Each structure stands twice: as structure tokens, then as C-alpha cells.
């Protein structure tokens, strides 16, 4: 999934001149503190363009009982994103990003983000349009700024806005790739240590939400050591030691009345999460990074297990889930990059359905931080086979999978 440029290209992209015909406009070019380069129109106006690509190969073991116990061999275009950002006034900016959604089925280029930004000071800013719903760190990192390549495919259950790849109005979608249409107020206080975001969104469209109730999303995080520096209310899963010593604890919550279930049996959805990032630069410049996440999701006043077993509707997860990973970045370069081995464990415990987990180990080859890296991973567990089936009859075998993933951004 996922979901998910989770950093505005203002801070991340290197601009592509040919993409917007800048040469014919004869405008200026100058570097800024926020980007590798910016095409400047005048003292307050500028435009930037960037792109991101994630593609992978996976070989997965067949479930028990399959003839020959064969392994699949799949190539996947996970993401291809185009980023367009601009400033039209000292306090007014715009962001427009696309992604190849449903890439594995041929793919369609669709709107990922479309944000109008009023950014006045450190304490209070407003974004309106289609954007990330404030949530736990994984969602705010997205696929491009997470520490693990498989952050969504083998992770904890999805938020409502990330549950469906495409936006629909038939009661099965509350957004796409962690985004939804709405507004978010965000800012920071106490020298940036306390970071917060509060948003209001459409949430579930149709189905159980017959009264068009609003989805509310909040995230509050506190930086105990060095302050994380990201665009807006976005986050990163690692800074590869370039952000100093990090210890940040975040709490997020989402709520929507009639935000789960079916039109005949709606339930109120609440999703609460706590996440922790610890990163330490050791003597000798090696970097230890630990990510942890706990989720508690509940559905009240409706949506019985019988309705869930019958299928249909918006079948959001209900229960608890954990995700913890640790990694070490060696300071020495081997060739053009650095080696970063890691381990990860995910445990998902649905109410009234079978538990599922996955063990993961691998190594990242870091060439240029989040802009260029290669990942090789091994996974084992039944999370891959049970997936998003939270019925009382859900079954699945423990299987193995090996994945080789590539990520580039400019």
C-alpha cells in the first residue's frame, strides 16, 4: 500500500527543468534551505518538480497442501510518483502529487495529494484539500520515508483512509493511500519539541455512514532529544544518523461515528496508536535505530461479528497490534553505499478472529538515504496468508517470502 511521498517535495525533490518548461519562461534558479534547488519566479514565487519510484521482486512459498509446494515469482511496480510544489505568496503554497495506484493490475495515474497550504508561523498552520490523515508514524512516513521496505505489506492493520487503494462511494472506502479530503491544523511549540496535527475529513463514504459523519484525526508527538525536522506534520522512520540523537513518542487517534460495518449494521470506529522512534549515533559513527508501534482499534454500538462473518461493508480491524523493528547502520562504505541489517516482528490480535504474526529480517544497502537504497528481506509467518480477513473462520498457513526492493527519488 500506501499508501504512501509522505514528504512534501519542497524539502525532498530536486527539480526537473524539462518537466515544466522552465527554460522558456526565463525565470531564475537558486538553491534554498528547503530543497536541493528551486526554480524562482520572483521574490515570493517558485515551483519545484520531483519523482519517486519503488519496484520489487518477491518469491513466496505456497500454502501448505499446494501440489509441489511451489514458490511464486512476482515482479511489482509498487509506486511511481510525480511531485509538484509551488509557492504563490509568502504564506501560501500548493502541493500536487500523483501515484500509480493499483499498479499491479496495470495501474492508473491518480491524484495522491492536492493541498492548499496556509503556513504563517511555527505554532499554527492550515492545509486544505486531499492530504494525509494524522495517524501513527508509519502512515506519516509512508513507503518512501520508512525504515523498512515492507512497512505496509507485512505491517499492522490499516487506518480507514488506507484500507482501500481507491476512493469509492459504495461503503468500502474512507480515502486512499492514507489520504482523505479535508483540513488539518498543525504546528509545534516549546522550540519544536511538541508537534501536533488536528484534522477533519470525509472518512467513510456511503454504506454504514448514512449520515455523512465526519472523520476526526489527531496526532501529538514530543521530542525528548534532538528535534525531528520534517515538512508539515510528516515524519521519517530513520534519519540515518543525520538528524542527531532522536527519542520521540507520538500518540494518534481517529474517530468516526458509523465509520465501520454495513448500512444495516453500522458501528462507531475508534483507532488509537502509540509510536516510538529511537535513533542514536554511536562512537565511530555507527547508527542504531529502533521503531515501535502499538495499536488499539475498537468498534462500538454496532457491527456484530455475525455481520463481519457475512462479509461486505467496511470491515475495519478491531483489536490490538504491535510492530517493533531494530537496525544498525555500519559507518563504513562498501562500494557506493552502507550496509544496514535489521530485524522486525509484527503481531496482530483481532477480537473474535485468529491471531497472526510475521518475523522479518533483512539488509538495506543505503546509497543516498531515502533517495537511493536497495533492500533484501526474508519474512515468515501467517500474516501474509490471513491478510485482512478478520472473520471468526479466518485461516492461513505460516509461509516464507523473500523480497528484493529498489527505491529511487529525485
pLDDT digits (tens, 9 = 90+) for 192-228: 999 999 999 999 999 999 999 999 999 999 999 999 9
- Cβ partners under 8 Å of residue 406, min gap 6: 53, 54, 55, 56, 374, 375
Residues in a beta bridge with 330: none
pLDDT range class, residue 40, cuts 50, 70, 90: confident
Which pLDDT value is given to residue 65? 55
The sign of the CA dihedral 165, 146, 38, 229 is positive
Which pLDDT value is given to residue 56? 96
For the residues 91-112, what does the mean pLDDT come to? 88
- Cβ partners under 8 Å of residue 112, min gap 6: 5, 81, 97, 98, 99, 130, 176, 177, 179
Check if the beta carbon of residue 210 is closer than 8 Å to that of residue 266: yes
Which pLDDT value is given to residue 39? 84
396 pLDDT more than 80: yes
Which pLDDT value is given to residue 10? 36
Residues in a beta bridge with 176: 179
8-state DSSP, 38: E
1 pLDDT more than 50: no
| Cα separation values, 382 from 63, 126, 167, 363, Å | 10, 42, 28, 22
pTM recorded for the entire structure:
0.88
Check if the beta carbon of residue 223 is closer than 8 Å to that of residue 203: no
Check if the beta carbon of residue 127 is closer than 8 Å to that of residue 293: no
Give the span between the Cα atoms of 130 and 31, in whole angstroms. Answer: 28
Residue 200: other Cβ atoms inside 10 A: 15
* Domains annotated on the chain, with CATH: 9-409 (2.40.160.10)
Element (H, E) at 137: helix 137-141
81 pLDDT more than 60: yes
Among 106-110, 295-299, 365-369, the range scoring the smallest mean pLDDT is: 106-110
Check if the beta carbon of residue 225 is closer than 8 Å to that of residue 201: no
Element (H, E) at 407: strand 399-409
409 pLDDT more than 80: yes
User: Where would I find the H helices in 48-110?
Assistant: none
194 grid coordinates:
511538541
Residue 24: other Cβ atoms inside 10 A: 7
For the residues 311-318, what does the mean pLDDT come to? 93
Q: What are phi and psi of 139, to 5 degrees?
A: -65, -40
pLDDT range class, residue 68, cuts 50, 70, 90: low
Which pLDDT value is given to residue 104? 72
DSSP 277-341: EEEEEPTTS-EEEEEEEEEEEEEESS--HHHHHH--SB----EEEEEEEEEEE-SSEETTEEEEE
Check if the beta carbon of residue 330 is closer than 8 Å to that of residue 340: yes
8-state DSSP, 206: B
347-371 pLDDT, tens digit each:
999 999 999 999 999 999 999 999 9
228 grid coordinates:
525531528
Q: Average pLDDT of the chain?
A: 89
Residue 229: other Cβ atoms inside 10 A: 12
Q: What are phi and psi of 202, to 5 degrees?
A: -65, -40
Give SS3 for 157: coil
385 pLDDT more than 60: yes
CA 90 to chain centre: 29
Query: Considering only CA atoms, which of 145, 155, 205 is closest in space to residue 5?
Result: 145
Q: What are phi and psi of 237, to 5 degrees?
A: -85, -15
Residues in a beta bridge with 360: 344, 379
Which pLDDT value is given to residue 35? 40
Question: pLDDT over 90 for what percent of the chain?
Answer: 82
For the residues 272-289, what does the mean pLDDT come to? 98
Which pLDDT value is given to residue 213? 98
Give the span between the Cα atoms of 382 and 295, in whole angstroms. Answer: 19
Q: What are phi and psi of 124, to 5 degrees?
A: -150, 125
Amino acid at each position: 500500500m500506501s499508501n504512501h511521498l509522505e514528504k512534501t517535495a519542497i524539502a525532498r525533490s530536486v527539480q526537473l527543468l524539462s518537466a515544466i518548461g522552465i527554460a522558456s519562461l526565463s525565470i531564475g534558479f537558486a538553491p534554498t534551505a528547503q530543497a536541493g534547488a528551486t526554480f524562482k519566479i520572483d521574490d515570493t514565487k517558485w515551483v519545484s518538480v520531483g519523482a519517486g519510484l519503488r519496484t520489487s521482486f518477491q518469491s513466496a512459498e505456497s500454502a501448505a497442501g499446494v501440489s509441489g509446494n511451489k514458490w511464486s515469482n512476482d515482479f511489482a511496480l509498487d509506486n511511481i510518483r510525480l511531485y509538484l510544489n509551488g509557492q504563490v505568496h509568502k504564506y501560501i503554497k500548493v502541493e500536487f502529487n500523483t501515484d500509480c495506484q493499483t499498479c499491479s493490475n496495470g495501474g492508473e495515474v491518480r491524484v495522491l495529494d492536492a493541498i492548499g497550504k496556509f503556513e504563517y508561523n511555527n505554532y499554527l498552520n492550515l492545509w486544505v484539500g486531499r492530504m494525509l490523515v494524522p495517524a501513527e508514524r508509519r502512515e506519516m512516513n509512508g513507503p518512501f520515508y520508512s525504515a523498512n521496505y515492507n512497512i505496509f505489506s507485512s505491517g499492522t492493520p490499516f487506518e480507514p483512509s488506507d484500507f482501500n487503494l481507491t476512493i469509492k462511494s459504495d461503503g468500502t472506502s474512507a480515502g486512499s493511500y492514507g489520504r482523505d479530503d479535508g483540513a488539518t491544523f498543525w504546528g509545534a511549540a516549546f522550540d519544536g519539541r511538541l508537534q501536533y496535527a488536528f484534522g477533519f475529513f470525509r472518512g467513510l463514504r456511503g454504506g454504514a455512514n448514512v449520515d455523512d459523519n465526519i472523520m476526526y484525526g489527531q496526532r501529538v508527538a514530543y521530542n525528548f532529544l534532538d528535534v525531528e525536522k520534517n515538512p508539515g506534520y510528516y515524519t521519517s522512520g530513520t534519519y540515518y544518523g543525520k538528524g542527531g540523537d532522536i527519542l520521540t513518542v507520538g500518540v494518534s487517534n481517529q474517530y468516526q461515528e458509523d465509520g465501520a460495518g454495513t448500512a444495516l449494521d453500522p458501528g462507531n470506529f475508534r483507532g488509537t496508536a502509540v509510536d516510538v522512534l529511537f535513533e542514536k549515533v554511536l562512537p565511530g559513527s555507527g547508527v542504531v535505530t529502533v521503531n515501535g508501534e502499538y495499536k488499539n482499534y475498537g468498534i462500538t454500538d454496532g457491527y456484530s461479528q455475525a455481520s463481519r462473518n457475512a462479509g461486505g461493508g467496511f470491515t475495519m480491524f478491531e483489536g490490538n497490534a504491535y510492530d517493533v523493528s531494530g537496525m544498525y547502520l555500519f559507518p563504513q562504505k562498501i562500494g557506493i553505499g552502507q550496509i544496514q541489517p535489521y530485524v522486525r516482528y509484527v503481531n496482530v490480535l483481532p477480537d473474535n478472529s485468529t491471531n497472526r504474526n510475521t518475523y522479518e529480517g533483512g539488509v538495506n544497502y543505503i546509497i543516498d538515504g531515502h533517495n537511493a537504497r536497495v533492500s533484501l528481506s526474508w519474512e515468515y509467518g501467517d500474516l501474509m496468508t490471513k491478510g485482512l480477513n478478520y472473520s471468526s473462520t479466518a485461516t492461513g498457513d505460516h509461509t516464507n517470502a523473500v523480497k528484493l526492493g529498489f527505491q529511487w527519488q529525485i
